[in-house]
Amino acid sequence: MTEPDTKTWPLSDAIETFLAEPHIATLTTFRPDNTPHVVPVSFSWDSEARLARIMVGIESRKARNLIAMPGSRVALCQAEGGRWVTLEGTATISEDPQRVAEGRQRYINRYRRQRGQQEDNRVGGPARGRAPGTREGPGPQRQRDPLDSWQAVIEIAVDRVMSRRV
């Protein structure tokens, strides 16, 4: 690898630390017409396996892009201010229950606080009442949880890492 910003393994502690921070990243896949599709995503990084995981609904555009073009290359870029790391590699999509469970658990470990903390840290005005005829009393209504819609995991076998200011 001749590019000055391309990293080799093992990655530096600074890059590993940055990848462990719970930032949002962008994922670039390619549509069947070869135009790029770039979307914000949450992901987890498994340094030992050199594997990035992104949880998805199987009907999402990013999932359909990978189904239409198996083994295609993707780029996953996490940035904060002027610091960034891009992970490139070959992506696969899996609905295997064990792989989905692994990806889900890694997502929860990286991005989620304990449910009790979320309940204690609610901010807002007075609780709103429920619709007439419901059994529950006044209180906040549960937001739809994205975890409920994940049926698949994108796994990126990372073979190139580029970074600046990390």
Cα radius of gyration rounded to whole Å, the chain: 19
Work out the number of other CB atoms within 10 angstroms of the CB of residue 14: 13
The pLDDT score that the predictor gives to residue 39 is: 98
Are 58 and 151 contacting, i.e. CB atoms less than 8 angstroms apart? yes
**pLDDT of res. 127:** 41
How far is residue 111's CA from residue 24's CA, in Å, rounded to a whole number? Answer: 10
6-112+146-164: what fold?
Answer: Pnp Oxidase; Chain A (2.30.110)
Q: What is the model's pLDDT at position 141? A: 60
* Residues ≥6 apart with Cβ < 8 Å to 9: 50
Please report which residue ranges of the chain form alpha helices under DSSP H. Answer: 13-20, 61-68, 97-111, 115-120
- Judge whether 89 and 160 are in contact, CB under 8 Å: yes
Q: Which pair of tokens denotes residue 29? A: 């896949």
pLDDT value, residue 3: 52
What count of Cα atoms within 13 Å lies in the side-chain half-sphere of residue 87?
27
What single-letter DSSP state applies at residue 135?
S
CB atoms within 10 A of CB 15: 19
What's the confidence (pLDDT) of residue 4?
47
Count the neighbouring beta carbons within 10 Å of the beta carbon of residue 65. Answer: 22
Q: Which pLDDT does position 5 carry in this prediction?
A: 63
List, run by run, the mean pLDDT of 10-residue segments along the chain (166 residues).
65 95 96 96 95 96 96 97 96 96 92 52 41 48 68 96 94
Polymer length of the chain: 166
CB 78 within 8 A of CB 18: yes
Domain segments of the chain: what residues? 6-112+146-164
